[in-house]
Amino acid sequence: MKFSSYEESVNVFFSKGFIINMNLEVLDLEIRSCTLCDLYRDRILAVPGEGPSHAEIMLIGEAPGDEEDRTGRPFIGRAGKLLNLALSRAGLSREEVYITSVIKCRPPKNRKPNAREVRCCLPYLWSQMELINPRTVCLMGNVAIHAVLDMQGVIELHGKIFQNRYLTTFHPAAVLRNRNLMEAFVSDLGRLREFKER
């Protein structure tokens, strides 16, 4: 499903009866008990996200990995440690941002999420964006970029801002595999301060 704007997508979700909850705690409980797609069968824990409930900055990745599946917390494995370092170098801290992923349950063997899984999880993501109402949203990697903006090609898109709200950059796992991307990743994250300081 393609939308011309974030606001249009929220209106569609409302009109089709998707749930936009009154608070994050209730939404987290729904995510943790979700059975909309088959990923729930193999998960240990769903991973709703974490951070301040009214964070000015929201980071969105692809899906939980092994350590996230075990703990129910986002980005705490090796990619998470790299993300923390990159945020620090960009003049930000993990404690001030809300971190989540498009997919809330770990795909088997960390494979890329399929289209059905993304469709099932998107209402949760839109709900989080509606409730937190961040000033800017950082889309990390092609899965997040495609899910929210219906665009692909992070190499060309990284560091760009769309709709005066969405910053696109690399997924931390990609930077972990190719450390040559670290400088650009930190530079991209640094652009988040522009929104924060407005």
Q: At 133, list the tokens.
A: 């109402």
Q: Give the pTM.
A: 0.89
The mean pLDDT of the chain is 90
- Which residues, listed in sequence order, are joined to residue 99 by a DSSP beta bridge? 50, 59
Longest dimension (CA), the chain: 45
Structure tokens at 170: 């690399």
- Residue 33: count of CB within 10 angstroms of its CB: 9
pLDDT digits (tens, 9 = 90+) for 27-55: 999 999 999 999 999 999 999 999 999 99
Amino acid (1-letter code) at residue 114 = N
Per-residue pLDDT of 42-90, as tens digits, reads 999 999 999 999 999 999 999 999 999 999 999 999 999 999 999 999 9
DSSP-assigned beta bridge partners for residue 140: 169
| Domains, the chain, ordered by start | 6-196 (3.40.470.10)
